[in-house]
Structures are given as structure tokens and as C-alpha cells.
A = this chain, B = another copy of it.
């Protein structure tokens, strides 16, 4: 802020801001379904995450627990959003094809979506990877190829990005890239961006449009919302020792600031039209906003959508609420507008 002292460029620019403890009520400004989600997340026991697993075995145990939690939601999801899921392989990479009930190939006209799951580049692979893909397929009416990219502890970066690029490149043989969208949430949004950066570097055709759900784009932890929304977010509550260990486990020998690990440090010039989704309680609110600003600064068509009181990726888990329907509806409308016919 300018003022008499502000013109003194030599002044300190590092006064921190102290925020007292506070109690957040469940807001009246969201749907009953989202209120229930917010309330349940608040009531859930807070697991201390000050210590990260120290061995590959300990990581595997943690991952198994996280995946089981995600899989517990699947019966209700499948009931609400009927679909078929077929496991297969493209370019040696495990993929799952999701076809929504009532799929109309003529109406799709060759359009399809490629999905990258979230889970911090560590969790929610395998059978646990397709929840968001089912929702994306339902709301778009398109087939979704969900990529089960390799992950740590066995396969750190760049294995996952290599898998994404390999699947995309193989799909180019039978598909028009301008008719193919790519999307994902959290690490899946980061992977979508990393794949696109890598494709650009390789001179290969890019997707026709991107759906970036609260993308994890800065694994260095610099985003301001890592402070502001710490503990506020009911799903990804803290960028703590655990999350930092996860970032390092994923990056492997690369620095976490590598643009293919933390895509906000990449060059988005020439990127396809992108839609970004976040919430006002999202710990990755800043990751999302910074990506949006960087895309627009690069001259890319970028649309930012935010949702009242939503935590990180909550639109995937609170899939019974109208906010989730609107969030996926906005993404589907964006793909419908920007993918070639």
C-alpha cells in the first residue's frame, strides 16, 4: 500500500501477520449436502502428520489405508453415476476406460477425455484412481481414459510424466488431439499440466482443452494459501512434514521446483484453453489462482471457477451435492465449447 513511507524502497517488507485462534461454523451459504460434508470433515479425528513414513514399506501401508478410504465411497458413487469400467493397457501403461450409462457415440463425435487421478502423486492409484473419472464421464457424456501412472515409492518422477506422455502419444494414432481433453484434480491437475509442458517440449500435439481441478503446482510450499487455509481445509489440512515428504518422495532426484514437478514454474505459452476449479477453503486456492494468472499472462484462454466454503477437491467427495454438479457441469460445458467437433 502506498503512503508517505511506501516510497522508501529500502524499508522492510517482511512483517508477519498474527492471526488469533478461531472457530469456523458450518456456513449457511452452501447446500445441506456440502454442509454435511464440511461438518463431517470437522468432526473427523485430526491425524497428526508431523512425521512422515520413513521406509518404502511404511509408505505402502499408509497408501493402502488411504486407498481403502477412497474405495469405500465407490458403491454409492456407482449407484448414483452408472457406468462401465474396463481395465486395459496403452503403451504399456495401465488405463481404465469409463463409459457413462447412455453413452452416445454419435453425439460424442470422436471426443474423449483423458484423466489423471489425484492423491499427492503417491496415493489413490489402481482401483482407487477412477472416482473423478466417473464424475467427468457422467457430466460430459464422454468416454474417459483414466491413466494409472506409476508412482512412488517404487517409481518416482519422471516415471509418472513419462507414462502420461506415452499414453497421450499412443492415443494420437487413432484420435484427433483437438477433440481430446485432459483433466485431473490436485496431483492429477499438476500431472495434466506437466504432461502438456512435456508434450510442448517434444513438439507433439497438445490436448484441445484442459480441466485443472485445484491443481498441485507448487511442491515447494510457497503458495500463500498453504498458510492462510492451513487447518481451514478439511481434506488437505496442512502442507506439513508429511506432505513435504510426499513431495520429495515424488520428485526423487529432481528438485521439487522442477517445472515438470511444480508446473507453476513452467512456461504456459501456447497452452490450450483451460478451466480451473477451486474453493474458498481450499489449501491449494493459491496454487489454482497462480496457475490461472500465469496462463492468462501467457495469453492462454483460462477460466477460473470457485465455490463457496469448499475444501480441496471436495467436489469429488461431496458428489451428492449441487455444488459438485455445478463444478463438473462447468468443466463439461468448457470442454463442449473448446474441443473440436
Contacts and interface: CB of A to CB of B under 8 A. Distances in A.
A225 interface: yes
A217 to B, nearest CB: 11
Contacts of A202: none
A50 interface: no
B306 A289 contact: yes
A115 interface: no
Given A21-B19, A224-B280, A318-B2, A13 B28 contact: no
Interface of A: 1-7, 11-30, 32, 35-43, 72-73, 76-77, 218, 222-225, 227-232, 234, 280-281, 285-286, 289-290, 292-293, 296-297, 303-309, 314, 317-320, 326, 330
Contacts of A17: 23-24, 38, 41-42, 231-232, 234
A1 B293 contact: no
B12 A39 contact: yes
Given A12-B39, A309-B286, A232 B280 contact: no
A280 B40 contact: no
Contacts of A27: 222-224, 227, 286
B304 A289 contact: no
A280 to B, nearest CB: 5
B15 A39 contact: yes
A1 B37 contact: yes
Given A1-B37, A304-B304, 14 more contacts: A1-B41, A6-B36, A11-B36, A13-B26, A14-B39, A15-B42, A16-B24, A19-B231, A19-B232, A22-B231, A29-B222, A228-B229, A228-B281, A296-B330
A48 to B, nearest CB: 13
25 contacts: A1-B314, A1-B318, A2-B76, A2-B77, A2-B318, A3-B72, A6-B37, A7-B76, A13-B32, A14-B25, A15-B43, A17-B24, A17-B232, A19-B23, A19-B232, A21-B21, A24-B227, A28-B222, A29-B223, A29-B224, A29-B286, A224-B281, A228-B229, A289-B307, A293-B326
Nearest to A21: B21
